[in-house]
Structure 1
Amino acid sequence: MELKILMIGFGHVGRGFADLLIKKEQLLRQKFDLSVKIVGIVTRSKGKIIDPEGVDLQRALKTSQAGKTFKDSGLPTTDVLTESLLASVDYDALVELSITNLTDGQPATSYIRIALERRKDVITANKGPIALHLDELKELARKNGVQLRYEGTVMAGTPLINLIRSNLAGLEIKKVQGIVNGSTNYILTRMEEGLEYDQAVAEARQLGYLEADPTADVEGWDAVAKTMILARDVFNVSLSKEAIQRKGISALRKADVERARTENRVWKLIATLEKENGALNASVQPQLLDMSHPLAGVRGTTNAVTITTDFLQEVTIVGPGAGERETGYAVFNDLLAVAGKL
């Protein structure tokens, strides 16, 4: 079976996904009888490649990593508008990995709409469209008989959404609570180890865990978007950003962390969704956890979510919540699902 893919976005996650396709090419053929052909890569800064015979991924990766444009490397490029490419190129599935916009989800939402309307499956790790427009996009996918997959939007390669959707499908979920932002967890971990807040933020930025403007992470907006996705996926409730009680970690200082340690407790930025008296309460805020709590020992960029159910009580999933290869794997796994191999 051949699966033709059009990619939008070739940043960290896109390159991680492409690298996986190269490394797993033999496994895909031998285990799944699947051949994946990238017929296009669309970017803002490197240009747009369209090649019906299949893009040379090795060359595209080397070009991107070297900071060059695709045209500079002699790859077959085009100046056609992205929307026109989405509407005309021959592909089976769109992999949408453009920059996240948590204000209105654009332009990624429009890209996804065009693909779904053409009856193309869509895979994305972009939180904007999924947090803000999930109901509409799910209905569009259902109407056109295609799949919309977005595992990578919440815990990167750690399969939280698939766990809830498949393995816990027969359970009543009462509460979902966890650490869903690896950047802030890293900052808090380093503060436990003696750094001041500003030092920990600078280090996280230097290591690539934070953008130049860390507001989305440290003020809790990234975790809010993930909470919105989980509210819809787990509890079938659509929440606005304003409906989620939010407080970031920027007010915490080394003295707060040290005081907590003397009390055998630890600060964590916790996202919580809990059903209570027929309502769904939602929050993202720093919480003091006793060291006996299952989330207290989660350190560095690791994410963890505890799911409270009726029959299994508490189920906790722990794993990497960030990283180009980790999120790239979520896209790779969704691709296998789209191909009907899972």
Structure 2
Amino acid sequence: MKFNLALIGFGGVNHGLAEVIRQKQAMLADRYGMTLNITAVSDMRFGTIWHEDGLDLDALIALPAKGYAVDDVLAKAGTQRGGASLAETLSMIQLNCVDVVLEATFTNPQTGEPALSHCRTALSAGKHLITTNKGPLALAGHALQSLASEMGVQFLFEGTVMSGTPVLRQLDVTLRGCDISGFRGILNGTCNFVLSQVEAGASFADAIREAQQLGYAEADPTADVEGWDVQLKVAILANALWGNGMKPAEIAREGITGLSEQQVREARAEGYAWRLIGEGRQQADGSINGTVGPQKLPLTDPLLAAHGANNAVTFTTDLLGAMTVSGPGAGRHETAFAMLSDLIDLNDRIKK
């Protein structure tokens, strides 16, 4: 099956996806009978570009090295260009040459915008939607899923919780048959990396700077270090597990900025480690409690198998006891893999 793709945002994640598509083209065709064709891209640095038959993949991948000058992309006859406004992006999403919208922009954790508008427009226009963006899902997930169902399209979001490490699909597939009463996890790669570096002797400022250089942290790391990012992820996981419509604002939140470098290093010397932990638990009456905050964990805790920018989450189940999933929680190619896995899942669903 052939999918024409619109990439919304062409930063690390969607640029990484373009690289992965080029790398995996033959395998995707041979193994899954699937062809991925990028027909449209929107990014605040160059606006919108599209071609009904597909954009030049090599020229797209070369954009960052060329300062996002799109001359080589536009050299293909028939390529069109628009501006960088939200209205122009929303118009591009609705083009007939787009089947699947892949949304990977920055989002405001309080409003979900502009990603929420991208997502609503895609689904309303009858486009399949894949996003790694936590805001729309945490703030309006039920409404978006209802809209997708109404329009007969798929809405997939594996990369929203632990980047490339499959967690939501574990719940949907491999853990069916288990009742899960709670979870607790290291769900932010930036904070995990920063605390690991501080334990090793770095200052908080230097550790955050290094995380930014490595692509783990945004230019403004506030959403990470103040716990906003994990708050959204706890809401997504809780709603995936229990469908209770939990809102991020209902989850108590504290970041790591209240910890001192001395506290972090002393804990390690005592056989403990400070980590930012997101938790959710279903109570006997069916209500859900959610929290985000730093916790002092013994070094024997399985969550501490997640080093550096890795993440881990432990589910409390009735049949398996405590089960921990660990893997990459940040990184452009890791998150791009989550989008690729959603595209393969989309292909499987449509073929059924």
TM bucket (normalised to shorter chain) is over 0.9
Amino acid aligned to 1:282: G
Structure 1 partner of 2:32: 32
Would the aligned equivalents of 1:196 and 1:253 in 2 still touch at CA under 8 Å? no
What SS class does the counterpart of residue 91 from structure 1 fall into? Answer: coil
Match of 1:79 in 2: 82
Report the equivalent of 1:18. 18
Partner in structure 2 of residue 262 of structure 1:
269
> Deviation at 1:73?
5.1
Moved more, 85-94 or 21-30: 85-94
Structure 1 residue 102 displacement after superposition: 1.2
Q: Quote how far apart the aligned CAs of 1:71 are.
A: 3.9
Query: Larger deviation: 207-216 or 33-42?
Result: 207-216
In 2, Cα distance between equivalents of 1:262 and 1:113: 50
Give the superposition deviation at 1:72: 6.4
Residues 1-342 of structure 1 aligned to structure 2 (within 5 Å):
1-71=1-71, 74-75=74-75, 76-79=79-82, 81-278=88-285, 279-340=287-348
Distance 1:270 1:29 in 2: 40
Deviates more, 1:4-13 or 1:235-244: 235-244
Separation in structure 2 between the aligned mates of residue 46 and residue 201 of structure 1, nearest angstrom: 29
Unaligned runs of 5+ in 2: none
Q: What do residues 81-118 of structure 1 show as CA deviations (whole Å, max 9, x unaligned)? A: 12222223322211111222212112222222222122
Q: Is the 8 A contact 1:46 1:64 kept in 2?
A: no
State the shift of 1:254 in Å: 2.1
Structure 1 residue runs of 4+, over 6 Å off? none
- Pick which of 310-319 and 100-109 moved more: 100-109
Unaligned runs of 5+ in 1: none
After TM superposition, the structure 1 stretch with the greater mean CA deviation from structure 2, 251-260 or 304-313, is 251-260
Answer whether contact 2:215 2:332 (CA < 8 A) is retained: no
| 1:192-227 alpha-carbon deviations (Å, 9 max, x no partner) | 111232332232233332222211111101111111
Query: What count of residue pairs does the alignment treat as equivalent?
Result: 342
CA distance in 1, matches of 2:14, 2:348: 22
Query: How far off its partner does 1:67 sit?
Result: 1.2
Residue 62 of structure 1, CA deviation: 0.4
SS at match of 2:130: strand
* Counterpart residue identity of residue 38, structure 1: I
Separation of aligned partners in 2, 1:328 and 1:65: 19
| Same amino acid, percent of matched pairs | 37
Query: Does the 8 Å CA contact 2:189/2:308 hold for their aligned counterparts?
Result: yes
Q: Distance in 1 between matches of 2:224 and 2:243?
A: 25
